[in-house]
Structure 1
Amino acid sequence: MSVEFSLLAAFLVGLMGGVHCIGMCGGIVGALTFGLPQPQSRARLFGFQLSYNVGRIASYTLGGVLLGGLSGLADNLLVIHQYQSILQVIAGLFMLAMGLYITGWWTGLRHIESGGRLLWRHIEPLGRRLMPVTRPGQALLLGMLWGWLPCGLVYSVLIWSISTGSALEGGLLMLSFGLGTLPNLLLMGMFAAALQKFVRYPLVRYGAGGLVMLFGVVTLYLAWQPLPA
């Protein structure tokens, strides 16, 4: 599977998965938005929202760098590159699971969040100390903490980053995913009520999840193709 295909797939997973992100993170974004000193100009409000999301995506990217780097180290030490196709199969299966998760037809990915909740118990109190947010720097730091919020969708893409076998590619994969989530969550901060109503439509969720599952099928197909001589 080419790097370009993986990055495009990750971006679209983030973009389509933003339907899920709005449902899960909408309350957080709304609390951060309405917690700002009022009144706020739309430009200043956008600046705070952008800071939150830059911090969040930075944490995603760091996670991808760490897991991709660890898998690359294992590749060098244990010579597991022969099993790269197996890792791609796992990535494809997780994409199918993510699509089902977005549609609401299967919520098994929530079990992945259990381990993250243990870490979040230690991170969440740090976020409280940054509230209320009055400066963009605070918003950036809060976003970096928010990036570790237990989320089956995010954690699944992190597991996908393991299949890259590279710190650089793992980081780029998570960066692409994070950028895909950006439009939805930026708009969520500016037009919360309208977007929440939009994503409640079943066809929106089904279309988003179906496209993610399609990428999963393509990934599985490519994983089973014979390696070039």
Structure 2
Amino acid sequence: MLIAFVVGLLSTIHCIGMCGGLVGAMTMSLSPEIRQNQLKLAQYTFAYNLGRIISYMIAGLLVGLLGQVFKDFIMPEHGIGLLRLIASFMIIAMGFYIAGWFPQFSRIEKIGVPIWSLLQPLGQKLLPVDKIWKATMFGLVWGWLPCGLVYYMLLMSPASDGAINSALFMMVFGIGTLIPMMSTGFLTGKITQFRNSKKIQSISGLLLIIMGIISLILVVYPHLHHQLHFQLL
């Protein structure tokens, strides 16, 4: 769960680059009365993001169910260990992805294109967003926007062991992204320089790679220790 939150925070550059324009467009589509009232603007921006996080949780629940089936019926003895090993490699892959050192990782986004093509028209029907409930519903649709980072997190989520835990994992990740995405709603038109910061992008990616390597060691070391102990016996 800590990893999920930290990844969310470190994805600031990616989130702004991926969704900053969308958030800006949604913010500018609000009435001047809402945009000029900081409290109302905060309510609408939070409603967008609440819907987005709920959609992450739904996706996490579905993927977690698949992971639970894999662990319980296909590999009951070593399933969770394999899932955690995959999760460690996913963290490293995300590091390269966020840093921009291996853009080919973005091809994973093609997985969600069919779903997005079905949901996008539903989002358009909610425009203009003039009610809080509309903002939440729009966020529910927005959460299914094809995003490599979200997909990598979904692939990691079954390692938390259980469908409910997978949903909670995605919720914590969403909360981690909440700070940058809420800020984007208030900084519309002022984020280009921050978004184009290669230095911050590289540092964020490098931190994720380091986290992934540490996670990998924590997963592999107990197995190596067990094997060594067995050989000595």
TM-score normalised per structure 2: 0.91
1:2-49 deviations in Å (ceiling 9; x for gaps): xxxxx1111111111121010110110001000011132111011100
**Percent of residue pairs bearing the same amino acid type:** 36
- Distance in 2, matches of 1:23 and 1:118, equals 22
In structure 2, give the amino acid aligned to 1:37.
Answer: S
What's 1:4 paired with?
none
The answer on 1:46 being equivalent to 2:14 is: no
- Distance in 2, matches of 1:176 and 1:29, equals 21
Q: Which aligned runs of 4 or more in structure 1 are off by greater than 6 angstroms?
A: none
Q: Number of aligned residue pairs: give it.
A: 223
For 1:1-229, list aligned pairs within 5 A: 7-40=1-34, 41-226=37-222
- Distance in 2, matches of 1:137 and 1:86, equals 41
Secondary structure (helix, strand or coil) at the match of 2:109 reads helix
- Contact 1:98/1:153 (<8 A) preserved: yes
- Contact 1:109/1:153 (<8 A) preserved: no
What's 2:231 paired with?
none
- Structure 2 residue runs without a partner (length 5+): 227-233
Secondary structure (helix, strand or coil) at the match of 1:150 reads coil
- Distance in 1, matches of 2:196 and 2:11, equals 13
Greater CA drift, 71-80 or 18-27: 71-80
- Distance in 1, matches of 2:6 and 2:190, equals 22
1:158-206 deviations in Å (ceiling 9; x for gaps): 0111223301210111011100100000000001233332232222111
- Distance in 2, matches of 1:105 and 1:186, equals 27
Deviation, structure 1 residue 146:
0.5
- Contact 2:30/2:128 (<8 A) preserved: yes
What's 1:3 paired with?
none
The structure-2 alpha-carbon separation of the partners of 1:191 and 1:17, relative to structure 1 and needing over 3 Å to count, comes to same
- Distance in 2, matches of 1:27 and 1:66, equals 29
- Distance in 2, matches of 1:201 and 1:153, equals 18
- Distance in 1, matches of 2:82 and 2:214, equals 15
Higher gyration radius (CA): 2
- Distance in 1, matches of 2:170 and 2:187, equals 26
- Distance in 1, matches of 2:192 and 2:57, equals 27
- Contact 1:86/1:223 (<8 A) preserved: no
- Distance in 1, matches of 2:221 and 2:120, equals 44
The structure-2 alpha-carbon separation of the partners of 1:17 and 1:81, relative to structure 1 and needing over 3 Å to count, comes to farther
Deviation, structure 1 residue 87:
1.8
- Distance in 1, matches of 2:71 and 2:81, equals 13
- Structure 1 residue runs without a partner (length 5+): 1-6
Tell me the C-alpha RMSD between the 2 structures. Answer: 1.5
TM-score normalised per structure 1: 0.92
- Distance in 2, matches of 1:186 and 1:91, equals 28
